[in-house]
A and B are shown apart, each in its own frame.
Chain A
Amino acid sequence: DQQVKQNSPSLSVQEGRISILNCDYTNSMFDYFLWYKKYPAEGPTFLISISSIKDKNEDGRFTVFLNKSAKHLSLHIVPSQPGDSAVYFCAASSSNTGKLIFGQGTTLQVKP
Chain B
Amino acid sequence: SAVISQKPSRDICQRGTSLTIQCQVDSQVTMMFWYRQQPGQSLTLIATANQGSEATYESGFVIDKFPISRPNLTFSTLTVSNMSPEDSSIYLCSVDTTLGETQYFGPGTRLLVL
Contacts and interface: CB of A to CB of B under 8 A. Distances in A.
A63 interface: no
A42 B108 contact: yes
B43 interface: yes
B42 interface: yes
Contact of A34 (B42, B48, B102): B102
A94 interface: yes
Interface residues of A, number: 27
Contacts of A98: 31, 33, 48, 96, 99-100, 103
A44 B4 CA distance: 12
Interface stretch (A13-21, A65-73, A74-82, A100-108): A100-108
Interface of A: 31-32, 34, 36, 41-46, 49, 51, 89, 91, 93-105
Given A46-B102, A98-B31, A98-B100, 15 more contacts: A31-B100, A32-B100, A43-B105, A44-B92, A45-B105, A46-B104, A46-B105, A89-B43, A91-B43, A93-B103, A96-B99, A98-B33, A98-B103, A100-B33, A100-B43
